[in-house]
Structure 1
Amino acid sequence: MRFSLLIVGITLFVVSVSAQSKLKYVNPLIGTSKMGHTFPGATVPFGMVQLSPDTDTLSYAIGGKYNPEIYKYCAGYQYEDPTIVGFSHTHFSGTGHSDLGDILIAPTSGKLQLNPGVAFNPKSGFRSAYSHQNEIAKPNYYSVLLDDHKIKAELTTTTRVGIHKYTFSKQDSSHIILDLISGIYNYEGKNVNTYVRVVDEYHIIGFRQTSGWAKNRTVYFAIEFSRPIKSYGYDDFQSKKVYQGFWRKFNLKDNFPEMSANQLRAFFDFDLDSSKELLLKVSLSSVSMEGAVENMKYETPDWNFDQYRKAGESLWEKELNKFDVQMLNEGDLTNFYTAVYHTCLSPTVYQDHDGQYRGLDFSNWYNKDRSLVNYTTFSLWDTYRALHPLFNLVQRKRNADMVNSMIAHQKQSAEKMLPIWSHHGNENWCMIGYHAVSVISDAYNKELQGIDYNQALDACIQTARTRYFEGIGSYIDLGYVAEDKNGSSVSKTLEYGYDDWCIAQMALGLKRMDIYEEFSKRSENYKHVFDSSSGFMRARMSSGKFIEKFDPLETHQAGYIEGNAWNYSLYVPHQVDSMIELMGGKKRFASHLDSLFTMQLADKYFEHTEDITREGIMGSYVHGNEPSHHVIYLFDWVGRSDLTQKYIRQVLKTKYLPKIDGLSGNDDCGQMSAWYIFSSLGFYPVCPGSDDYVLGSPLVQSAKINLENGKIIEISTKNQSEKNIYVKAVYLNNVKMKDFILSYQSIKNGAKLVFEMTDKPSKTF
């Protein structure tokens, strides 16, 4: 009897999930330990403000040398850390390099201290110990008890404003520290200048100008307190002050209304009544201090903390409700909806409420059409693969704005190039390829509206012809990037070839045949780095000779970036059949591909890398990094769909776990999460810019993808279970599919996709 009731309970759970609030299945703490590099704090979807705790303030360099410990703090927070320094307002999610951590607020009580101290001795500064038992992280809400100060901190946000609520319990003096020194990936000299002006007893304004990953970045802010300031001051931690001028007439550090230094920490003291409650609103702008003030007035006109929290929750519900999924267990539901959450953290809004934003040329630009939004945080080497293709299904208006933001970037750029990796009005030039063209091409293929595609194509062409960028000159002249001219030459040649194919497809659609012919030819340059004697893509010198020292498993100084010959030789997503033929045909290719999963990669090949750990590796397949994300789906091309299905389910169940360290690699602004979403649904965009998705093995029991046009893609499974990982047949709108390709055209206006599952492998559908 008990067994029967249990079965009924499970059935009801699976059936009723879509009717419940999906917020309960989002855990922002997933990925905050080890390699995930996510942050747990409060934010709204794609918000300009990411208000989150920073658990340490390590320097990027020690004694002039890189400090490897800094890598853990790309998002400012590591779950294992015992202390919190404070709460800053800008964070990346899941990156492998970093910046930001702006405008750190630290509430304290008792004796005033303006030094953060060190983690092993929190009482040496204003930081505080905390316990995860007193920590809550939910969409647009974060709270924690700061043990050393006995202060409960609560955080929520709007798009451009962070709202802090601090409840003091000590009958002691109460301080708010405004730390304009601390930052993520900080170093001496990163701060160019900081400024604070006390407007009145409730309001301050200011800015922080830095030169880090973003070379020239200014964040303007406005702060409003719910209680009047009793007294205030600051300290300048600059080691040597060369010039004071006639400001020496004043006592600048106590109750003087202007503060300016490049190493500045300010404090504000308050008398609190019996409620012991103090609220702050901190708004940001890229344009001006006045812009920050106006953003605050527009988004947070009053002090209703719970109202702002609930409004943000509603925004998150809207995003989560684009997917109605049923899984076999609650852990998978948590993984799925947390992945959806992580895909909505970036790119981020980079525009004041009135349409103004700071461009790459340091001019203020203005979107007069208030329906247009400028975005930043384009981690394109990562996100072109699955995140932006996912947006073309469920974030079409946003992705069109993102494409237009990229085109605006190209106009403002001194180099006249589309973004490579850009944030906060700066190009930081991280990683390789010119993958904005992939995002633009996929938008064109998926028929996004509101984009001038001829103008977009011109921007793509200009970017791809920039000879001085990363070996493009030799790529054009020789048909490949020469290793002696530019490192990571194989990776660049292969990725440029794919990007060139994207340009060619757009040109074909726009009937610009000269461009189509030029870039179609360039798209086959991958053939020039294939070494038939070894069977791998291999670096070549400008003389035409392949490099002599060659180990296909080596990742360093071998012609590859964040990968090796074994996985990069599988990167020709736009001409998979030709790649298979080049590598010896289907049988040999299948053997090469399967070896990637069955051959154990020795520690020596990744022990000195930051971005790869054993947790992200399966055999020699590295799921913890992007170059391999399409690879499992290639088995479909060689008649081994069973292996595609087998390995997808292994990755879904072992590389994504519903726990703090559940991500097997950097989430990379949502790319790892987008892979999980697509693969859980049963298909994946191996070649963005094409019309094709490639079928896999769905993890969902059923799902609905709610499209912006009001149509629904319904996915269901028959005989789904943990053991039934293989696909016996697939039906699209009640018609049995004959191969593994699912076209966008067949699902864009809604569709019904049924997977018939089994525990018996079948090589083909």
Structure 2
Amino acid sequence: MKRIIFSLFCYAAIPAMAQTGGGLTKYVNPLIGTERMGHVYPGATVPFGMVQLSPDTDTIPYEMNGRYNGDVYKYCAGYQYTDKTIVGFSHTHFSGTGHSDLGDFLVMPTMGKLQLNPGTADHPETGYRSRFSHDNEVARAGYYKVKLDDDNIIAELTATNRVGLHQYTFPAKGDAHIILDMMSGIYNYKEKNVWTFIRVENDTLITGWRQTNGWARTRIEYFAMAFSKPFKQYGHEKYDRQVYRGFWGKFDNSKNFPEMAGHQIRAYFDFDVNAGEKVLVKMALSPVSTEGALKNMKAELPGWDFAAVRQQADQLWEKELAKIKVNTISADDKVNFYTAMYHAFINPTTYMDVDGQYRGLDMNIHKANGFTNYTTFSLWDTYRALHPFFNLIQPKRNADMVQSMMAHFDQSAQHMLPVWSHYANENWCMIGYHAVSVIADAIVKGNTPFDANKALDACVTTARHRTYDGLGYYMDKGYVPEDKSGSSVSKTLEYAYDDWAIAQAAKKLGRDDIYNEFIKRSLNYKNVYDPVSGFMRPKLDNGEFRKEFDALKTHGQGFIEGNAWNYSLYVPQYPEDMIEMMGGKKRFAIHLDSLFTMHLPDEFFAETEDITRDGIIGNYVHGNEPSHHTVYLYNYTTTPWQTQSRVRMILKKMYRPTSDGLGGNDDCGQMSAWYIFSSLGFYPIAPGSGQYSLGSPAIVDATLHLENGNTFTVETKNQSDKNVYVSKVELNGVKLDRKYITHEEIMKGGKIVFYMSAKPNKRA
């Protein structure tokens, strides 16, 4: 999900990675995509970790001068590469989203005079923030290091699943402070702290919690924070003077008082340090309680060996990255590939304590029995390629994610599967009910260590929820009327795909009644196609197409994050029927050519808020997910070789090993999953079909190490940057006379060989 702003590509070099170790993690550069719209963070986390410990380069007030501050979009991940200062290091972050939240428990080390306000980017000396240089910054998988120039402090970060570990090296003897800012956060403009609480347990341990009301309306997070040496004193700023009136006024509770509570708390802990001394901080998180946070700390990080924890994080990433061993044409391609795998394996995130307890959607405490509970489901994005990638490479984790969705359904007052959920909250962001696609894809592919029929029932209940987002109109009329519910064409098309996915799962399970109901609903895409204009078009409640229509615009035209050119191609479940409906293979190929080559005037970008030159090739919007399958539609036309050349073109233009190297929000790994699949030479245009459409692999060779013990190898012959066309494909030594391979063929193991050429094979 994205909110895109007008901008132009610029290229920024990023510093070379620290080359430690000989494994695959040396090819991961977390700084890729940290500039502009990639919205990823460079800090320390482990695969699918509950802690995302990362620097925040600014903290944007949720409101300025009584008006919405648009920069909250810029700081969805808390970090922008072009910024010159760091405010501190917080413990929760989204990766690549188009909406802001999290940024919990910001920690910052300082020396000298104590300052308890963050200061400004122009004048960091007025607060606790610090200037920094990318020349003194290192970002690797599971590790981050930076020099805080204002106090010459070296900050290093690493993490376990549930615990963040800081190591601060102080440059001189003197007074040192570690600030805990409970006010700071990565918010949308309406978010605010509901309440914060800190309890000083002893001179090395504090606990507490924080509740916020914003994108997630009732989000609460607990922590336990430990120091490697005792602090000599502590206190906090009285930002909430009103909470200290009455009986609490008997105490001077601003200093060395063991309980701090209020809407706005910034605490400090003072230390005497020597030159070169290292002070370490552990921050364990829990969705349940401070007791849970302490248990997590004891279980995962009982000691203080920073190097050992960093090495352990590196090994965890090495294990996950090694599931695909790839050789590439260039070193840059290898960095792009493994950084994409890194980003794909960040979200969804673990959301439970070591004992399995977690906070549910009903705000009660539940226990995950037999599965890991996950959160951060950006499903409008990730159902397309990320979850199919998990079904291939991470099937056990994906099955756990499905069970997490089922727990969400059981706890939902609306009796619905998640739409966009995080931290025991449903945000209802974007459209469709795409959890059903994730579940159906798992069922069709046989990845069901759960009650598949119960999961299908949850899909059906969700899809019959008449009060949800125009769904009642859709069920009655076969389309969503634009005058009754906005973004109506997009909703109709996405509902139709989701219904098809339900039908495929029902077919697999022998549920004929469900299959018949939803296969009929899956044809509703036809009801918003206008043969006169040749586009999908908004239809009114009276059955007529709306007269005012501009195929290039988005707002008010019945679409979301796309226009009629993009969404008219969104019938992934029936590509052949869609092409025939739109005039046949030759005419459709011309339509695709126009999409990629047309020139959009400057005034188009100026007048349309959510379309930008970022992530766009012609009118093809790679930076927005509804277009991700589009290039593979050439396979169903008279010019299938165009899939091959354009895939390779998109890979080069939209993904680069630079700070601005992502052509759009990574969206919790969806953009990265597209890159991985397309680099390997195949892509799931319709999850739930069990098929992968063939493209043009950009690798020399790759070996997929599957969880069932089999290996599947992708090999290319005559590979080069110029040889982007495929003259022949062989599967296990036999020529493949179709434009797809199946999930079953991959899972059995074997080898697919692509013979590459500088010229298209127009007879294939």
| TM tier, smaller | over 0.9
Q: Which moved more, 1:60-69 or 1:321-330?
A: 60-69
Change (3 A) 1:692 1:189: closer
Q: Report the equivalent of 2:518.
A: 519
The one-letter amino acid paired with 2:565 is W
The one-letter amino acid paired with 2:643 is T
Deviations 1:20-73, CA, capped at 9 Å, x for gaps? 511111100000001111100000000000000000011233233221222110
**Local SS of the residue matching 2:231:** coil
The one-letter amino acid paired with 2:302 is P
CA distance in 1, matches of 2:541, 2:706: 49
Do the aligned partners of 2:69 and 2:189 also contact (CA within 8 Å) in 1? no
Do the aligned partners of 2:379 and 2:419 also contact (CA within 8 Å) in 1? yes
Q: Shift of residue 273 of structure 1?
A: 4.0
Q: Shift of residue 166 of structure 1?
A: 0.3
What TM-score comes out, normalization by structure 1 length?
0.96
Q: Report the equivalent of 2:88.
A: 86
Q: Shift of residue 476 of structure 1?
A: 0.6
Do the aligned partners of 2:634 and 2:640 also contact (CA within 8 Å) in 1? yes
CA distance in 1, matches of 2:111, 2:494: 54
Q: Which moved more, 1:94-103 or 1:52-61?
A: 52-61
**Local SS of the residue matching 1:716:** strand
Q: Report the equivalent of 2:357.
A: 356
Q: Shift of residue 586 of structure 1?
A: 1.2
Q: Report the equivalent of 2:7.
A: none
The one-letter amino acid paired with 1:350 is Y
CA distance in 2, matches of 1:189, 1:639: 52
**Local SS of the residue matching 1:64:** coil
Q: What's the Cα RMSD here? A: 1.4
| 1:202 and 2:204 are equivalent in the alignment | yes
Q: Shift of residue 275 of structure 1?
A: 4.4
Q: Report the equivalent of 1:296.
A: 297
Q: Shift of residue 226 of structure 1?
A: 0.5
The one-letter amino acid paired with 2:149 is D
Q: Higher relative CO (CA 8 A, sep ≥ 6), structure 1 or 2?
A: 2
The one-letter amino acid paired with 1:692 is Q
Do the aligned partners of 1:555 and 1:605 also contact (CA within 8 Å) in 2? no
Do the aligned partners of 1:444 and 1:506 also contact (CA within 8 Å) in 2? yes
| 1:110 and 2:112 are equivalent in the alignment | yes
Deviations 1:632-673, CA, capped at 9 Å, x for gaps? 000000131111011101001111111111111000000000
| 1:32 and 2:34 are equivalent in the alignment | yes
Change (3 A) 1:195 1:328: same
Change (3 A) 1:186 1:530: closer
Pick the aligned partner of 1:149 from 138, 148, 151: 151
What TM-score comes out, normalization by structure 2 length?
0.96
Do the aligned partners of 1:226 and 1:279 also contact (CA within 8 Å) in 2? yes
Change (3 A) 1:466 1:243: farther
Q: How does 1:152-551 map to 2 (within 5 A)?
A: 152-185=154-187, 187=189, 190-238=192-240, 241=242, 244-369=245-370, 372-551=371-550
**Local SS of the residue matching 1:614:** coil
Q: Which moved more, 1:725-734 or 1:590-599?
A: 590-599
Do the aligned partners of 2:99 and 2:188 also contact (CA within 8 Å) in 1? no
Q: Report the equivalent of 1:688.
A: 687
**Local SS of the residue matching 1:357:** strand
Give unmatched runs, 5+ long, in structure 1: 1-16
The one-letter amino acid paired with 1:178 is L
Q: Which moved more, 1:274-283 or 1:736-745?
A: 274-283
Deviations 1:290-313, CA, capped at 9 Å, x for gaps? 000110000001101111110110
The one-letter amino acid paired with 2:63 is A
Q: Shift of residue 186 of structure 1?
A: 5.4
Q: Report the equivalent of 1:651.
A: 650
CA distance in 1, matches of 2:564, 2:631: 16
Deviations 1:454-497, CA, capped at 9 Å, x for gaps? 11011111111111111001001111011111100000000000
Do the aligned partners of 1:437 and 1:460 also contact (CA within 8 Å) in 2? yes
**Local SS of the residue matching 1:760:** coil
Do the aligned partners of 2:174 and 2:273 also contact (CA within 8 Å) in 1? no
Q: Shift of residue 764 of structure 1?
A: 5.0
CA distance in 1, matches of 2:184, 2:77: 13
CA distance in 2, matches of 1:625, 1:425: 26
CA distance in 1, matches of 2:494, 2:308: 47
**Local SS of the residue matching 2:744:** coil
Do the aligned partners of 2:62 and 2:191 also contact (CA within 8 Å) in 1? no
Change (3 A) 1:453 1:609: farther
Deviations 1:179-210, CA, capped at 9 Å, x for gaps? 00010025576100000000001100000100
Give unmatched runs, 5+ long, in structure 2: 1-18
Q: Report the equivalent of 2:12.
A: none
Moved over 6 A (4+): none
Do the aligned partners of 1:285 and 1:292 also contact (CA within 8 Å) in 2? yes
CA distance in 2, matches of 1:188, 1:700: 45
**Local SS of the residue matching 1:701:** strand
Q: Report the equivalent of 1:710.
A: 709
CA distance in 2, matches of 1:159, 1:198: 24
Change (3 A) 1:652 1:764: farther
Q: Shift of residue 508 of structure 1?
A: 1.5
The one-letter amino acid paired with 2:118 is P
* Aligned residue-pair number: 745
Change (3 A) 1:547 1:64: farther
Q: Report the equivalent of 1:660.
A: 659
CA distance in 1, matches of 2:610, 2:132: 29
Deviations 1:308-359, CA, capped at 9 Å, x for gaps? 1101100000111011111111011110010000000100000000000000
Q: Which moved more, 1:55-64 or 1:84-93?
A: 55-64
CA distance in 1, matches of 2:88, 2:447: 41
CA distance in 2, matches of 1:481, 1:531: 15
Deviations 1:230-258, CA, capped at 9 Å, x for gaps? 101111324x7277331111111110000
Change (3 A) 1:443 1:603: farther
Change (3 A) 1:421 1:243: same
The one-letter amino acid paired with 1:81 is D
Do the aligned partners of 1:611 and 1:666 also contact (CA within 8 Å) in 2? no
CA distance in 2, matches of 1:608, 1:398: 43
| 1:588 and 2:577 are equivalent in the alignment | no
Change (3 A) 1:181 1:608: farther
Do the aligned partners of 1:195 and 1:206 also contact (CA within 8 Å) in 2? yes
Q: Which moved more, 1:738-747 or 1:25-34?
A: 738-747
The one-letter amino acid paired with 1:346 is N
Do the aligned partners of 1:32 and 1:660 also contact (CA within 8 Å) in 2? yes
Do the aligned partners of 2:211 and 2:219 also contact (CA within 8 Å) in 1? yes
CA distance in 2, matches of 1:255, 1:274: 26
Identity between Structure 1 and Structure 2 (%): 61
Do the aligned partners of 1:57 and 1:186 also contact (CA within 8 Å) in 2? no
**Local SS of the residue matching 1:573:** coil
Do the aligned partners of 1:586 and 1:638 also contact (CA within 8 Å) in 2? yes
Change (3 A) 1:608 1:416: farther
Q: Report the equivalent of 1:131.
A: 133
**Local SS of the residue matching 1:334:** helix
Q: Report the equivalent of 1:570.
A: 569
Do the aligned partners of 1:222 and 1:289 also contact (CA within 8 Å) in 2? yes
**Local SS of the residue matching 1:175:** strand
